[in-house]
Homo-oligomer: A and B are copies of this chain.
Amino acid sequence: MTRTELYKLIRRKESFLCVGLDSDMEKIPKHLLDYEDPVFEFNRAIIDATIDLAVAYKPNLAFYESRGMAGWNSLEKTIQYLNGFKNEVFTIADAKRGDIGNTSKLYAKAFFSGTYAAMNFDAVTVAPYMGSDSVTPFLSYPGKWAVVLALTSNKGADDFQLIENEQGKLFEVVLKTSSQWGSPDNMMYVVGATQAATLKEIRQIVPDHFLLIPGVGAQGGSLEEVVKKGINKQCGLLVNASRSIIFASQDKDFDKAARSEAQNMQVQMRKYLNEFCAL
C-alpha cells in the first residue's frame, strides 16, 4: 500500500487506529478454546467487529511464535484473512527483526513476498542496532514498509535510546541517519505514546514520515497529547491499541466490547483529522 493509498484509507474510515493483535491464548475468552484454532477465531471476530473503525492491524509475532507451529498457523490464517479485505487494511508484522544484510533479505522475503509462507504483510517492524544493511532489504519491495524502532514506550528505552552524543540523542541519530536510507514512502518509525513530550523534536527531524505509536491505552499514553504534537497534514500517525481493545471483555460479547473501545478512539480521531489534516 502506498502512502497516498494509506492516507485515502485513513480519510475514508476517518480513523488512524491500528489494532494490535497481541492474541494471548491465556487471555482470550474461554468459550473459544473449543474451536480448532482459538486464536484465529478470536482474531477473526476482533477484525470483523472493528474493520470499519481501524485502518491497520498489527499481530505481535511473539504471541504466535511462542505457540510454535500451531501459532505460526494462526498467524498465516490471520494475515490471509486480513488480505481478503483488499485495500481496506494496512497490515504490520510486529517482529522487531534486524540482522546482517543477507539475513535481513530473508526476513523481508518471509514477511513480504508470500513465496513460501502465506504471509504478505504491508510492513514489518525493524530494530536499527545493526545499521543500514539490516534495514535496507525491507525497502526494496514496492508498496512495502520498514517500521524502524526510534523511541520506544518501555522502561528500558532510557538505557540506550536517550544517550547523548555530538549529533543528539541516540534515537535522534537513528532518525537522521536511517531516514536517508529510504523515504517517507517506504519507512515509518515507532515512537511510544509515553514519549509524546519528544514528538515535537521528532517531527523536526522527520516531518513527513508516518509514526507508529504504541502505548495508548493499557500502557498509559494520551491520544490527545500524541495528536497535538505528532500529527501532520497527511495524518502521519498510526496509533496502536492492543489490550485495551482486544481484551475489553473476556466474555462472549468480547467482540462488541472491542468494537465499543475502538469506536471511542475513532470518534476522537475523526475530530482530529478534520481539525488538523488536508482533505
A: residues with CB less than 8 A from B are 22, 60, 62-63, 65-73, 76, 94, 96-101, 103-104, 106-107, 109-110, 115-119, 127-135, 149, 152-161, 163-167, 170, 173-174, 177-178
Contact = CB atoms under 8 A, between A and B. Distances in A.
A65 B99 CA distance: 14
A217 B100 CA distance: 15
A67 to B, nearest CB: 4
7 contacts: A66-B115, A69-B76, A70-B116, A71-B116, A127-B129, A128-B129, A159-B177
Given A62-B106, A160-B177, A134 B154 contact: yes
Contacts of A60: 99, 103
A106 B66 contact: yes
A68 B110 contact: yes
Contact of A156 (B133, B155, B157): B133
A155 B62 contact: no
B66 A110 contact: yes
Contact of A173 (B66, B72, B158, B160): B160
